[in-house]
Structure formats: C-alpha cells, structure tokens
C-alpha cells in the first residue's frame, strides 16, 4: 500500500492551460504539503496545510492553489501554466506539525 | 536564498568503507535536522534525524552529527553498501506560523557505493 500517492506521475501540457495534481495519503495524517523541485534539484516548500492553518510560501505565484476536500487529500491546482512551472512536484504529509514528513513519488510536469 | 547547503553534489565510496555526507546551514532558528534518501523516480524517504539539543544520533549503520556552533551536520554510513547508492538530502526545520514547521532542503549529494 502506497502511503502517499500522487497522480498523475507525468503531466505534459501546453502553456496557458489549467491543470491539477492529486495527492492522497493513507497514513492518517492531518497535515499535508506541496514541494517543487526545480531543474537545479532544489526542493522548496510551496504550501503547508492542516485543518487549522494554510501557510503559503510567499514566492509561490497565486496561479497555484491547494484544495483539500478532506484530511487525506491535498490537490494542487495550477492556472495559466507557464514554461517556468516545469518541475517535479512532491506531495508530503505528517502527523500534526511534526518534523518528519512522508513524501509521494512526485509528479513530473512539463509545460511546452 | 538557500539556507541549507550541500556543497558536494556527488560522492563515491568503496563498499564496506565509511561514507560521510556533509551539510551546512545558515539559519540559527533551525531546531531540527533530517536526512532523506531518494532513489530515482521515487519520493524522498526519511532516514534519520536529530534535534538541536543533541549532537549525535545513531540508528544502525547511520549516524548523524550536529555541530551547532559551526552550523554543520554530517551523515556517516558505516559500512557502506551498494544499496545505499542514492541521492541524500539534508533538511532543516524551522517554526513558521502557529505551531507549524517547514522543511528547508539542500540540493542533495549523490552517493555511489562501488562493489
């Protein structure tokens, strides 16, 4: 059983499109995160979210938005995709705000 | 700006020898440090961690050392095995918001253990 799963694994799309990446965790965690790994392999936090608080990294464009239908899911919506959005996006989860986070396998987004 | 740095992008070690991976940080607010291991096409998996109140934590073949005054930590793997070949990420945690913590990652060191 995959603890943190992301779909799709690969996503190829045109500039200007709107896309979503789904994330689900079956660990019973109540806190979830989205990270972006750019071409320099730099893993950077985008959002941290639990049912009490959403923390947005100030460098994230407002074209990106997290949507959480329930505690086990945190989806990432991206509007008006740009070339610079091409990256690998990782979802993660933790119990509360505990430091140890568990990651999904990543979604490789390519914007053409 | 990058608050966690891994200055060695790659490291090769003979099987059975010690692997030492280094990490430096700049933010004195970091209070918890972690090492993650990543295989290709997989997400990072948690390996070992250390709180800022300690200077050493050991788990089997893996030991993490923390030198707060130097803002430096290292991961020792003894003995190294071919299955340890992966990219290792150093991460540091800082409090943000009300009770929240965010992880700040280094860019990783690719370890190759040669049989």
- Read off the pLDDT of residues A24-82 as tens digits, 9 standing for 90 and up: 999 999 889 999 998 877 889 998 888 767 887 878 999 999 998 888 999 999 999 99
**Residue of chain B minimizing CA distance to A40:** B107
Q: Which of A42, A96, A105 sits opposite B42 (nearest CB)?
A: A105
Rounded to the nearest angstrom, the minimum Cα separation between B90 and chain A is: 11
How many Å is the Cα radius of gyration of chain B?
A: 14
How high is the pLDDT of residue A55? 80
Lookup result for tokens 């788990």: B59
How high is the pLDDT of residue A96? 75
What does the alpha-carbon distance between residue A71 and residue A49 come to, in Å, rounded to a whole number?
10
Share of chain B above pLDDT 70, in %: 95
Q: Taking Cα atoms as reference points, which of A53, A55, A45 lies closest to residue B103?
A: A45
Rounded to the nearest angstrom, the minimum Cα separation between A71 and chain B is: 16
């Amino acid at each position: 059983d995959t603890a943190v799963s992301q779909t799709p694994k690969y996503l190829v799309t045109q500039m200007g499109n709107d896309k979503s990446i789904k994330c689900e965790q079956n660990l019973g965690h109540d806190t979830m995160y989205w990270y972006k790994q750019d071409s320099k392999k730099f893993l950077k936090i985008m959002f941290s979210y639990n049912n009490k608080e959403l923390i947005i990294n100030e460098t994230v464009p407002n074209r990106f938005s997290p949507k959480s239908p329930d505690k086990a899911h945190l989806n990432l919506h991206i509007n008006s995709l740009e070339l610079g959005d091409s990256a690998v996006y990782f979802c993660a989860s933790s119990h509360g705000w505990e430091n140890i986070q568990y990651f999904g396998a990543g979604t490789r987004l390519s914007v053409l | 700006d990058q608050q966690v740095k891994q200055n060695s992008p790659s490291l090769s070690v003979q099987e059975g020898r010690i692997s030492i991976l280094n990490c430096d940080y700049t933010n004195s607010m970091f209070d918890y440090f972690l090492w993650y291991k990543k295989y290709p096409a997989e997400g990072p998996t948690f390996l070992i961690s250390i709180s800022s109140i300690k200077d050493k934590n050991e788990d089997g073949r893996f030991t993490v050392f923390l030198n707060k005054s130097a803002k430096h930590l290292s991961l020792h793997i003894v003995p190294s095995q071919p299955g340890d070949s992966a990219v290792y990420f150093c991460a540091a945690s800082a409090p943000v918001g009300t009770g929240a913590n965010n992880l700040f990652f280094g860019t990783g060191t690719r370890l190759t253990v040669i049989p």
